[in-house]
Structures are given as structure tokens and as C-alpha cells.
Structure 1
Amino acid sequence: MVNPLLPEMTDLPAGWVGQFDNNDRIFFRGPSGYLTYDHPMKGAIPKPWQLKVDRSVPNPREYYYNTQTREISHSNPRFKEEIMNSSLLGVSRLVRESATMTVNTGGTLEKSRRQAIENKSIRHLYTIVKTLDAGNGAIGGMNGGVHVVRLKGTGKLYVEKRFKKDDLQALRDGTPGMGVVEIGITHRVMHGGLAGYINGFIEPNDIHPASASLFLEFCDLGSLDDLIKCHAQRLGTRDAVDVPERFVWHAIVGLCDALSYLWGGKSFITNENHAGTGPAKGWKPILHRDMKPDNILIRSRATNGATKYPFLVISDFGLAIDNHKQESGACGTRHFWAPELLWDPPATNNWHLGNFPPNQYHTHESDLYALGVCIYNLCRPTNAIVHGQRWLGALSHFKFEAYPTNRDEIDLWLSSRRSRKSDLDVGSSYSPYLRDVVKKMTGWNVSQRGAAHQLEHILIPTVKKCGYYDEDFSPSEALPAWAIKKHDYHSR
């Protein structure tokens, strides 16, 4: 549990502890006795500031001390604009603007500008801190490597996604390669619930692209999949708790707003001025096509000890399209396909595995269904053994009783409607309002389900009606400390 009086000392990854020296300056002890004044998650405090603890009061609390002016402050100097700008003087102005963005509000994003996509490598501006995916296909086959990187000359962490040469080549019909499309879409979208573009390049070799990278904001608290699995692992133990309903509404509103933005280029859910106005002029609607808990990331707020939940961010536009040209082949993660994309009668052969049913393809309605399934599993995670196999995490929408005993039939089963539950009820632990909204998001009738932007007149009034519109949460509504993934990349 993070102590609001000692947020930096108590908000630490596993194996780390906060201590103080003879001058009351706080330092951190890591695994194997490693000592540092730099917070392993939040990074170094810019000079001339130090983090100290005031032990002269009954309840000791942290403060920031300026060694030059002797100023005492309770505001985190990492986010003082003048300090951040001075530490980024060697970086281009647009990258500096991205680096100093510490809020996720639409108005702030709309006023910001984007660094252009470069035509030459900029990898030399960054240092690799941690490799998340070596790009060898062990984790995902759609990239050439994913790394946590540090922008040189600063303490800012980002994520670099590298692309394989094959993913940059144009298709036979002239359509740009998937890597080029992903970089372009990520550069185009500007919404607090979508992965934030920082920088990128596509380096040509003669005519065709030969190398490319996409640099994104670093979401420091893991993914929704991590959070769901943490809750699933504690089912049946004394630590088992439901995810707070206020957090569930926080997730639904923010993520539906992000999906509505992909459809129309506006915040249709959270901005009442946009409701009913239709898409922005000239906007090309974007389908995500791979909504799943792994692709919903969690990013902390700038304020220590904030009483608002962290931001949830839709990431990975590797399968996203904005050209309205539907492909015949199936794509995405079949565990989260909408029912209209599943075979009924059941799939029986390999051709079925590689294709959707006739005249079916990903839509904005199927993106909403996949998000609804994520929310359902957030409320009702799975921890079960089925035919000797452990099912853990976001799998509660499956009919375990229908799971095939023949392993050769599993993929066919996953691609068929018979594998899914049709009524996804989050249960009586939650309000009837939440149960109804999740059922609507996951309805099997496409026209009744609709798309995210069609919730524009429903969602906010419903949240207000059930008393969860205020983002500030009470101590009893805080997410458990064990539910949030914490890194120590700043110590590397």
C-alpha cells in the first residue's frame, strides 16, 4: 500500500526498500544490496533537488529540497516545466514537447504537435535499457524487436518498436506494408487513450523501405492482462477481491472514448460537444482489429500518491487499417473475436482457420465486442484447470465444458461459436447498470451491440446515475498494490 505521506519511499518494485541517510536524504536499496538515490521506477530527481523526509513531525512525510535556494516543496520537480526543458536542450523542440507531456487530456493533445516521421535512422538518439521482445518470434511475429529505451541526455523512458524489412514492403496491389501503415496511423492519432507517438523513422534503401522504428510513450504499470492475471492468481485465497467498480467504469469510459475517436477523430463519449456531430471532416475511420488485454497498457499519472486511477491506453496498431479495404483472411487474436467472426456450424478444416465466415470481417462493432470481453474478464477472471490444462486470466468468456479432449480439435473449437458463452454477466458483485452495459458491449446481435461511438448518449449518464462519475477514489476503492506491475528500469 502506497503511503500518501511517503509516496516515493513506498511505491517501489518488489525487492526494493526506501531508506534515509544521516542527512534525511532518501535512498533506495535494491536486490543484492544495490544502493541508489534514483527511484527505480520514477528515475532521478533533477539537480539541484533532493528527496528528503521530515522526521520532526508525528507522521513523517517526504519533501523535495533545493540545495541551492533551500526551497522546500511537495511538488515533484521532475515535472516542473522549466527543469524538464533545461534538461532537454539538446533535443528537438517537438520531441521536447512530447517528453514534457504529463497529462492525458484531449485539449492538451489537440494543442500539441507531432515530430515528423524521419527518413533516416534516429536510433543513435536513444539507449536500450531493457529488451522486451528480441524480435525472433518467441513473443510476437509482427515486429523486429521491442525495447525500453532512454532518450540520451534525459531520464525519459520510451518504447522502441522495430520493424522487419518484410513488414515494410508494399503489397502486390501497391498497398503500403503493415509496418508503414502502423507508423502512419500511430503518428496520426492524438487521443489520451491511444498509445502516444514520440518519434519514428522509415529509412529507404533505393526505392523500398529497409529499416524503421516507432518510438512510443512508456506505459510504466504493465497491461490490463497483467492486472487480470494478478486477480486471477488470488482467486480462492484470502487475498481475493473484486476489481473496484469505479475502476471498471474508468476503464470502460476511457477505452470506449478511444475507440470512438478511431471511428470519427473526436472524443464522442467524454466531450458532450462532439456527441451526435458525426466524424471529423476528412477523417479516415480506423479499425484496430486486435483488441485484447495485452494491448491495453496502464500508465501512471504524474502526481505522486494520486487519488485518481492510472490511465489506460490502447496500443499496438500492427493490424489496424484505415483504407476501408477488407481483407479476406482472418487476422487478430481469435480468443477475442466477435461471434460474427466465428464459424457456425463449427470450423472443420484449415481453410476455416485462415478465414472468417463468408461476408464477415473486422468492424467497429467487433472492436467494441472485444473490448467488452476484456472488461468482462476484468470483473470475472479465470483460474481453472480444464482437462489438465491451467486456464488463467482473461478466459472466462469460454465454455469450458465444451473444451475438446482431442488436442487436434482445439484450434477449430476456438474458431467456432460453440466455444463461447453468449451471455456475459459480470455478476451481482457489480451494479445492474454495469451488468447491462457489459452485456450490451458483448451482445451477439451486431445491430443491437453497435459500435463505441454509438454509446455517446448512454455511457456518461449511466455512470452518473450509478454514482461513479467522480474519478477520485476512496481508500477502499484503490487497486491492490499486488495488482499493478512495477519496473526498476531507472536503476539500469
Structure 2
Amino acid sequence: MPPYQDHLGGFGDYGDGEMEDYDDRDGMGAMNAILARMKIGGDFAPVGGQRALEELLWMGGDRGRFRDGEDARRGPRVPEIHTRGNTYIPGRVRDYDQIQARSNMHAVFEVVKDLGESGGGCNDSILVVRSRRSGREYVEKQMSGSLVSRGFAKSEIDFLKQLQGEANTIKMENFLLEEDSRIASIIMEQCDWGSCRDLIKRHHVAEKNISERWLWKAFLQMAEAIKFLHYGPYGAHDWNSVLHMDMKPDNVLIQSGHCTTPNIKVADFGSAMGGDKGLTVSRSYTPCYKAPEKEATKKADIWGIGIVMLCMCRLSSRFKRDRHAGSTYSQQLNDAVYECLRWSPRYRIRSENLAHRLSGLVARVDKSMLRGNAPIPPSGL
């Protein structure tokens, strides 16, 4: 089935939920409820008439009683997922022996792994999930009720819809936003190498520097991503500028590519802002990575690129006042990192010029400095 867009703007492949928690005595009432909600045999994309009839067969048996408002084994009912003006009642999540967490969209995705909290606890959890339909794995970012009620969840979803995964930005595959229930999830493409923070840890443990050759690649890809956030695709005249405002090793992900070395994906737009009007930063951010200036401008994202590069060069996830990449790396790389980390934003390089500047610098690097192995992959790759 080709991807479709629901009336909330989400993208994905809904379907294949299992309705397995109805008692025999509730079968007729449940059937009437479903028939009232679904157009049996009609144009209902996620389920369709045949699938709806198949799911009705799951309502009998002694697989657990679905009581009013609560299930005795599994807690409160889950929110309904809206699709194309109809309402699909999601099936209950299957029991897992080792994984207690569940997807907010568990009719569509099953949990593979719980990665824990992210962003200092701003999100409820980060899960690796698998599509029940296609078998493909994604990452689900579950957002707290506070972020939903304050409008930050909707804002992040809107930014991801605008970016569409272009120019080394993370791609949103699907989402759930229930503002009344204060529940929100974003389903994103999976980055199998983890984050730059994870890469730093692997190289630190191995006592091995990250090769300069790959660092230049990561530098260029981050520069292109931030330029795209700020100015959009080439020739765009009505682009709504996006300021990331929280560039750090945790928020720059790494993904296997078609070439021999992995690629960069800029992620986590929970602190992002629209426009470039010199507004004071008011959203959550990580203080130790924040640019020196108080205003939220494009130059703050350039500082963030410099921070990520410096952390990878120094094999440290914390920024220290020394703004040099170190003697292990070429003078050109040291100069490029320093240009991003000038204290005064007035003298910091502009995002539209950074990628071109990096291309010119790397062309002058001694070829011996560009030798080296690919970064250390996570175990299992």
C-alpha cells in the first residue's frame, strides 16, 4: 500500500492491530460499535472491509475481559488513532516478557527495545519499534504531557513535516498527537550507529581518535543540514526559517549509508524555533552547549556545529573553554572549528557560507591527514 496522509497530517502504514481483549459476552456490543465506526467493504485505508471482518473474529474467547475504562491486566484504555475522518480502535499491546514499555501506537507498532529517557527527561521514553505490517524498524519518541499541553509537541511535529527528512535531517515517518489526552509520539527513521555521543564513547573506550577524513564528512553534512534549516532548498523564497537551538552530540545521529562510511542526521527539534528575529531563548536547551549570546539567531546553530565537532575531536561529550580541535588534526580543521566557536556572533561564520568554506579548507589539507579507518561501529554492525 502506498503511504497516505491522515487528516491530522501524519504519514504511515496503519493496520494489522489485533483485537484480543473482549469477553464473549461483550462480543455483540463490540461488533455493533465497530460496525458503527467502520465502513465495512468501503474505502477505509488502514483496515478495509475484509480486515475489519477478520478482526471481529478475535473478540471471542477467554483472552481477558475489556472492562469499562480499564483493563484489569494492562491499565487504562489507549487513545483512538484518527485516520481519514474515521476512527480505528487500536488493539491492546501484546505481552512482553522483558519489555514493559509499549508504543503509543501499538496497533501499528510493536516494541523491540526500550532506549530509556532522552533530553534530560523531557520525553517519556525512546523506543525502537517494528511496524506490524512491513516489519521495518523505526524509533518512537514519546513526549510528556507537559510538552503536549505547552504546544511543544505540535511545534516539533510541524517542523519535521516541513523538513521532510531532506539534507541530512531526520525523517519523520508517522506521528500521533492527542492534545486532549496529552499524548504524543513521533515515529522516525532509525539510525543504527546511534548518536555522536555514542561514537565518542566507543572511541574513548578504544583510546582511538576519530579519523579526520570522516570528521570532515560529518562537518560538511552538518553544515548542509543547518543551511537547509535556515534557508530551505535552493531557490526557495517562502521558506519558514528553522533554528535548531540545541545542537549537541546527543542530537546528531549516525546512519549507515550506501558508501563505506556512515552519514550524519540532525535530529531532535524539541527546542527549535521559527524565524530569525533575535528572540530571547525561552525553550529548554542544554546549558553547557548553549551559545554565549542570549538571542536566538542562526549564528547560535553555527556555534552548535562547532560544539559537536569539538567534542568529537576531543573525545569528550562536554564542552570546555579550549576551542581547538587539537594537534592530532590538521591546522585547517582546527581553524574551521574555531570559526564556528567565536564568542561574538558578529564574527562567527554564516550558515550559507560554512559549507563552501569547509570545501575550500579540506582541499588544502595534507593528504596524509585524510588517511584512516572508518569510525568504530556499534557492536552487531
Name the TM-score class by shorter chain: 0.5 to 0.7
- Separation of aligned partners in 2, 1:131 and 1:220: 14
Find the partner of 1:140 among 120, 139, 158: 120
Residue from 171, 181, 186 that aligns with 2:160: 186
Q: Which of 288, 297, 301 does residue 335 from structure 1 map onto? A: 288
Alignment pair present for 1:376 and 2:359: no
> Structure 1: how far apart are the matches of 2:216 and 2:246?
22
For the Cα contact (< 8 Å) 2:280–2:296, is it kept in 1? no
Q: Quick check: 1:131 aligned with 2:114?
A: yes
SS at match of 2:218: helix
Could you report, residue by residue, the CA deviation over 1:262-319 in whole angstroms, capped at 9, with x for unpaired residues?
A: 10012xxxxxxx4xx6xx2111111111111011111112x5xx42x10111111111
Structural RMSD (CA): 2.8
From 207, 211, 227, give the equivalent of 2:199. Answer: 227
Matched, 1:435 2:339: no
SS in 2 for 1:144: strand
Find the aligned partners of 1:295 and 1:377 in 2 and give their Cα distance.
13
**Aligned AA for 2:331?**
P
Q: 1:156 to 1:486 in 2, by over 3 A?
A: farther
Aligned residue among 217, 241, 260 for 1:285: 241
Counterpart in 2 of 1:214? 186
- What per-residue deviation string (whole Å, max 9, x for no partner) do you get for residues 388-439 of structure 1? xxxxx223x42xxxxxxxxxxxxxxxxxxxxx33xx2223322221111111
Residue of structure 2 in register with 1:243 after alignment: 210
Q: Secondary structure at the match of 2:120?
A: coil
Contact 1:144 1:164 in 2 (8 A): yes
> Residue 202 of structure 1 is aligned with which of 165, 177, 185?
177
Q: Distance in 1 between matches of 2:265 and 2:225?
A: 8
TM-score normalised according to structure 2 size: 0.67
Q: Identify if the C-alpha distance between structure 1 residues 95 and 330 changes in structure 2 by more than 3 Å, giving closer, same or farther.
A: closer
String of CA shifts for 1:107-127, please: whole Å, max 9, x gaps: xxxxxxxxxx96877541111
* Aligned counterparts of 2:159 and 2:222: Cα–Cα separation in 1: 17
TM-superposed deviation, 1:221: 0.9
Q: Which deviations, in whole Å up to 9, do the C-alpha atoms of 1:183-212 show, x marking residues without a partner?
A: 11111103241111101122353xxx6322
2:307 is paired with a residue whose SS is helix
Deviations 1:312-350 (Å, cap 9, x if unpaired)?
11111111111557356473111111233xxxxxxxxxx
Higher relative contact order (CA 8 A, sep 6+): 1
3-state SS in 2 of match to 1:140? helix
Trace 1:288-437 onto structure 2 (pairs within 5 A). Answer: 288-301=244-257, 303=258, 306-307=259-260, 309-322=261-274, 326-327=279-280, 329=282, 331-340=284-293, 360-381=294-315, 393-395=316-318, 397-398=319-320, 420-421=321-322, 424-437=323-336
CA distance 1:328–1:427, change in 2 (3 Å): closer
Counterparts of 1:444 and 1:462, CA distance in 2: 21
Query: Within 5 Å, which residues of 2 pair with 1:443-462?
Result: 443-462=342-361
Tell whether 2:224 aligns with 1:257.
Answer: yes
Equivalent AA in structure 2 for residue 256 of structure 1: A
Q: Which runs of 5+ in 2 are unaligned?
A: 6-10, 14-81, 88-103
Partner in structure 1 of residue 27 of structure 2: none
TM-score w.r.t. structure 1 length?
0.53
Q: Of the candidates 373, 377, 380, which is equivalent to residue 477 of structure 1?
A: 373
Which letter maps to 1:332? Y
Structure 1 regions of 5+ residues with no counterpart? Answer: 1-88, 97-116, 171-176, 235-239, 267-273, 341-359, 382-392, 399-419
Partners of 1:90 and 1:286 in 2: CA distance: 29
- Tell me, in whole angstroms, the C-alpha distance in 2 between the residues paired with 1:328 and 1:228: 28
Measured in 1, the distance between the counterparts of 2:231 and 2:83 equals 27
Amino acid corresponding to residue 484 of structure 1 in structure 2: P
Question: Separation in 2 of the partners of 1:252 and 1:328?
Answer: 25
Q: Distance in 1 between matches of 2:265 and 2:248?
A: 12
Paired with 2:354 and 2:2, the residues of 1 have a C-alpha distance of 45
Q: Would you say the 8 A contact 1:194–1:258 is kept in 2?
A: yes
- Count residues in correspondence: 286
- Deviation of residue 158 (structure 1)? 0.3
- 2: CA distance, partners of 1:460 / 1:95: 37
| Cα 1:241–1:162 shift into 2, 3 Å | closer
Aligned residue among 140, 159, 163 for 1:160: 140
Question: What secondary structure, in the 3-state scheme, does the structure 2 residue paired with 1:290 have?
Answer: coil
Q: Which amino acid in 1 is paired with 2:156?
A: E
Q: 1:431 to 1:222 in 2, by over 3 A?
A: same
2:364 maps to which of 462, 465, 481: 465
- Structure 2 CA distance for partners of 1:439 and 1:315, relative to 1, 3 Å: same
Aligned to 1:161, what secondary structure does the other structure show? strand
Partner amino acid for 1:125?
V
